Structure 1
């Protein structure tokens, strides 16, 4: 019998639209609610409460739907800070944020959360939310650090989902993640190519990914925004996984 988990990954651009001219966090919240995901991987989330909400953006998005959340503060500036977040319907066994910054201009981290299979509490699933550098040289260093971190911190037999904005327009990330960790990318497996997610208005670059290991891919799709108001500059990705109870 399989236990299913539905995940969504989305770079929300700090709650602003593509041109940074309009506040669209309410629309983003409606979108991720309709997706019905159990776990939501978010990038570029403002963690301070000074952006038109009484609470942080990840708390505002989680609301009463995802009762458990983790936030990794990466970029700090005068107006506040932002980073990665994971929203979950399942409680976290543990979580931490690992700094993988390679220069003083791009502050990046890997947010690592661990949840348990509700039907089999001894079976863990490791969730890694990432947002990598813009430049290839920095991304290579970060991917090497991620590979080393996973080898040290994630048991080989445990379920693992790594999702986020890879900024990998050259499509080189999988060479390391597959070669060193045995990860597969959901859209590459199901559709033969990575999903194009950027820019949202006319997506041509496959920047966002959902990688997995030790679970079965059941379905994946790029969320269409044809009938939606303009939201972030990225498109969200959805994937359903199953693992044996």
Structure 2
């Protein structure tokens, strides 16, 4: 069985520069992934001010949908789940999952490290053909010490909810620009990141391995660059998997993606091992 997955921080459905609504364009862009499962961060469950400002009809549709963003993006083709993290007077936002498979159960883990930055891990169990797949939508904090504690909470959550080696997909915005967390996740959970195979599948990888053997060291595994979307440099967004073979993985680059959010999305094709 193959599963096509994507992860995308959508910047609450507004452009990162001028704060203009991008919700309808985002829905069309998400459809371009042709993904069975989409992991979304910074999803607006409710925003009364944007709804009031951008809700007027134009060219036959409203700029701001009446439904929550995750429901709007899911449409008729996908199921959806939402984990509310940041709550304020005029609304709230959090993580969401869109799934072509039925969602058997959901749970949102509060991993906020301090009062000024609300974060969560949304855990959904997908009922695929013959096996349940555990999906964890992640958006970690901006401070390194807090990300370390949140990663420990993520490891505990996965070990408690998928303790017997069940298939796992962990994806989202890790804000881990120094790549300090990947080895912790690999060692504790037995996961791989979808770009780990790049070194082993290329001619450059052969050279890297030869040099590594000479130095009695292994090549450093690095995630893809995804931020900022217009000129990606920082490696913030990840997809980690267990129980899957990674067939393809790519970052979506180009003018379209640079206009929609400050993060570039990652899309990967997985095959159940």
1:106 alignment partner in structure 2: 117
Larger radius of gyration: 2
* TM, length-normalised to structure 1: 0.93
1:90 aligns with 2:101: yes
Aligned to 2:264: 235
Distance in 1, Cα, partners of 2:73 & 2:36 = 13
Conserved 8 A contact 1:190-1:220: no
Distance 1:44 1:102 in 2: 17
Q: Quick check: 1:49–1:57 contact (8 Å CA) kept in 2?
A: no
Looking at structure 2, the residues matched to 75 and 49 of structure 1 have their Cα atoms a distance apart, in angstroms, of 12
* Closer/same/farther in 2, CA of residues 20 and 131 from structure 1, 3 Å limit: farther
Residue 47 of structure 1: SS of its match in structure 2?
A: strand
Partner of 1:199: 228
1:117 CA displacement? 2.3
Deviation at 1:98, TM superposition (A): 0.7
Q: How does 1:1-245 map to 2 (within 5 A)?
A: 3-48=1-46, 50=48, 51=51, 52-66=64-78, 68-118=79-129, 120=130, 123-190=131-198, 193-227=222-256, 230-244=259-273
Superposition misfits of 4+ residues, deviation over 6 angstroms: none
List gaps (5 residues or longer) in structure 1: none
Counterpart secondary structure, 2:46: coil
Which protein is richer in helix relative to its size? 2
Q: In the aligned structure 2, how far is the partner of 1:84 from the partner of 1:7? A: 15
TM-superposed CA distance for 1:187, in Å, is: 1.2
Normalised to the residue count of structure 2, the TM-score between the two structures is 0.84
SS of match in other structure, 2:150? helix
Shift of 1:20: 4.2
- Provide the C-alpha distance between the structure 2 equivalents of 1:12 and 1:227, rounded to a whole number of angstroms: 13
Contact 2:258 2:264 in 1 (8 A): no
Q: What is the alpha-carbon distance in structure 2 between the residues aligned to residue 193 and residue 226 of structure 1? A: 25
Structure 1 90/114 Cα, relative in aligned 2: closer, same or farther at 3 Å?
same
CA-atom RMSD in angstroms: 1.4
